[in-house]
Structure 1
Amino acid sequence: MAGFIMLIISFLFSYITITTTLSPDTITLGQSINEGETVVSAGEVYELGFFSPGKSSGRYLGIWYKKDVEKTVVWVANRNTPISDSSGFLSINAQGSLVLRMNSTNDIVWSSNASTTLLNPVAVLLESGNLVVKDGNDNDPDNFLWQSFDYPCNTFLPGMKIGRNLVTSMEWFLSSWKSIDDPAPGDFTFQADPHGFPQLFVKMGPEILYRVGSWNGLRWTGTTQLEPNPVYTYEFVSNEKEVFYTFDIRNRSVPSRMVVSPSGDVQRFTWIDRIKSWSSFFTTGQLDRCENYDLCGSYASCNINKYPDACECFKGFTPKSPGEWEILNWTEGCVRRASLNCNHSDGFLKHEAVKLPDTSNSWVDNNISFAKCEKLCLNNCSCTAYANSDVREGGTRGCLLWFSDLLDIRELAANGQDLYVRVAASELEQLSEKKRVIIIVTCVVSAMGVLVLGWIIFMCKRKLRIQGKL
């Protein structure tokens, strides 16, 4: 009898071992992942297990790149609740919840909190780095009961989303670690704001530090460096169900990721296999001061090439506080020299090659022709400016209107857009008069120049004739 029992135990042990060997990326009902054990994605790109960050003695459940000897962590389950010893284990229950417990006390440290009973609940670490809970062999992403991609930490991976589900109100955003030793949510976030025309922000708490800008069909208006490249592709989606930004890598052997650092910098890294290390592709820490949100206040633009007077009021506007402006404090911005009449006598001044203003209080229609945009703005007393919302195909379609003060604008050397700012008719007349004066003066100066040049040529020829006679 004892021999029979040992045979059964040996068989079960062999079955579990074979199952684990055949599915190293999967946790099934009755299985658990303990300290020293890991789950590895099918292509061995990502690994899930326990780790201690930096100098911390706390234990966390996380996902990292398997081939990176530094174990660069991309996701952490128990960010706020470290395990104080090595007794943690992860399992999945019949309700489809991932549960992280401590063996020493059996206390629940973290749970994915699913509530739907599945026939065959399994957790799988996908090749994308997404840890998902699903029913058996159902691989339809729409049927996933839970996924780690819905709860990003400080890292933006290919296939993740930054944005919001407008149906469920679920928001996808990055939050920095408190420090390199503490993965708890820090002060900085990288998120999409769906109000008005959607745009991306880097924030410290509620304060906006950096605005990536709104989407113009090709790129975010504030990111001139975002261009088609051999490493990754990118996409922005906005419809009645969701608004999000995502990216994908062109070559799975060249991983790329974005990270919000504990100091608030947004960095993109690309893996260089030759040196077995990450190379910094881009960081907001290298941006100039014109990228500081709303540096110049309302109705003013920032030009990094003008030092120290980086800020300048738009034509038709003047500093609200001239004294502060003189000491390089531009925060109060500029005000109109002449009030709008709110009739068809108002007009627009074109400002070329700029980062478009904050679109939190804006309206967009990508389906109408841009030619109708000026009239739409002029017919609404609250409209302060307009621009093209989609620059693809020559920018013939798409209208973006602003209905508040214009904030956070800068001049761009490349990939800037044209902004049409509403001004009173008197301002247009003054500018028109100035243009006439400039044209007249230019013509007079040009005419005098021609006369002087003609006289010089005449005198030279005369001198040559005289010398020839001699």
Structure 2
Amino acid sequence: MAQLLDSRNLVIRGDNDSDPANFLWQSFDFPDNTLLTGMRLGKNLATGQEWYLKSWKSTIDHSPGNFRFELDVSGCPKLVIWNGSARYVNRAWNPSVLLQPKYCDVYPHCGEFGSCNNDSLCICLDGFQPKNIEAWSSLNFSEGCARKIPLNCNNKDDFKRQSNMKLPYTGSSSYNMSMKLEECKIKCPENCSCTAYASTTITKGVSGCLLWFSGLIDIKKQDQSGDVFYVRVGSDSVA
């Protein structure tokens, strides 16, 4: 039996099933170009089923277009807009914030260890310098930044606080919801591959430790509401 619910979800039930929550099939499992209340974004890790939005080619041609909007669950969950196979916009998951793409949101505008400001210009994080000075001066920021002083891979490395920032891309990160910031501060220096750490909030009132293990990308300077993370630098890089 087919039924259109008040939520606009088209469901199919068994004829003899009296439980209103049981569906043999539901349209909300196959989103199109509009996210309605009750729909899901993400991935069922047990079955592999994914829920994402896809654009139309045009208002006349409703076949799939180039853009896809999804919740990427690798590392720390994040909202992503894809333009074909290219990651176009990347933001940390926040169920109360809608995406409003700007130039700084284009992935990854400033390369590794570069931060984009509100003027869509890039600056290197403290302790870093442009990899290619000539390209950087020509406003080509794609090669990013490199450390001024190499890491020693020991407890003598420093961690520079970065305030009011959008957290870096978390695809190569890991998080532990049972660890607090002070434990995070101890854990990261123990691993030579750990490049940064932060305290992150996945759901309201629940925070944990987020660790990065590669070059930091997709960083943006924000207003007072931004996040804080700590990036690993050579000990002589910090004044």
- The two structures have a TM-score, normalised by structure 2, of 0.93
SS in 2 for 1:360: coil
- Contact 1:366–1:398 (CA<8 Å) still a contact in 2? yes
1:389 shift after superposition: 1.3
1:335 shift after superposition: 0.6
Q: 2:18 maps to what in 1? A: 138
Q: Does 1:379 align with 2:190?
A: yes
Separation (CA, whole Å) in 1 of partners of 2:191 and 2:99: 40
Q: 1:168 maps to what in 2? A: 47
Distance 1:372 1:133, change over 3 A: same
Q: Which structure has the larger Rg over C-alpha atoms?
A: 1
SS in 2 for 1:426: helix
1:133 shift after superposition: 1.0
Separation (CA, whole Å) in 2 of partners of 1:138 and 1:147: 16
- Contact 2:56–2:65 (CA<8 Å) still a contact in 1? yes
1:338 shift after superposition: 1.2
Counterpart selection for 1:288 from 82, 99, 102: 102
Q: Does 1:412 align with 2:226?
A: no
Counterpart selection for 2:30 from 114, 126, 151: 151
1:288 shift after superposition: 3.0
Q: 2:172 maps to what in 1? A: 361
- Contact 1:297–1:331 (CA<8 Å) still a contact in 2? yes
Separation (CA, whole Å) in 1 of partners of 2:199 and 2:109: 24
Q: Write out aligned runs for 1:42-441 (5 A).
A: 122-136=1-15, 137-141=17-21, 143-213=22-92, 215=93, 219=94, 226=97, 284=100, 287-305=101-119, 310-390=121-201, 393=205, 397-428=207-238, 431=239
1:283 shift after superposition: 6.5
Distance 1:185 1:381, change over 3 A: same
Percent identical pairs in the alignment equals 42
- Contact 1:289–1:304 (CA<8 Å) still a contact in 2? no
Write the letter of the residue equivalent to 1:123: A
SS in 2 for 1:325: helix
SS in 2 for 1:407: coil
1:140 shift after superposition: 4.5
- Contact 1:345–1:425 (CA<8 Å) still a contact in 2? yes
1:178 shift after superposition: 1.1
- The two structures have a TM-score, normalised by structure 1, of 0.48
1:195 shift after superposition: 1.2
- Contact 1:377–1:385 (CA<8 Å) still a contact in 2? yes
- Contact 1:288–1:304 (CA<8 Å) still a contact in 2? no
Write the letter of the residue equivalent to 1:191: E
SS in 1 for 2:182: helix
Alpha-carbon RMSD: 1.8
Write the letter of the residue equivalent to 2:137: E
**Structure 2: 5+ residue runs without aligned partners?**
none
- Contact 1:126–1:132 (CA<8 Å) still a contact in 2? yes
1:414 shift after superposition: 3.7
Separation (CA, whole Å) in 2 of partners of 1:320 and 1:327: 13
Write the letter of the residue equivalent to 1:387: A
1:300 shift after superposition: 1.0
- Contact 1:295–1:408 (CA<8 Å) still a contact in 2? yes
- Contact 2:75–2:174 (CA<8 Å) still a contact in 1? yes
1:289 shift after superposition: 1.6
- Contact 1:152–1:173 (CA<8 Å) still a contact in 2? yes
- Contact 1:203–1:210 (CA<8 Å) still a contact in 2? yes
- Contact 1:298–1:405 (CA<8 Å) still a contact in 2? yes
Comparing both chains, which one has the higher relative contact order based on Cα–Cα distances under 8 Å and sequence gaps of 6 or more?
Answer: 2
Q: 1:255 maps to what in 2? A: none
Which is helix-richer, 1 or 2?
Answer: 1
- Contact 1:319–1:334 (CA<8 Å) still a contact in 2? yes
Write the letter of the residue equivalent to 1:203: W
- Contact 1:297–1:330 (CA<8 Å) still a contact in 2? yes
> Aligned pair count?
237
1:138 shift after superposition: 3.1
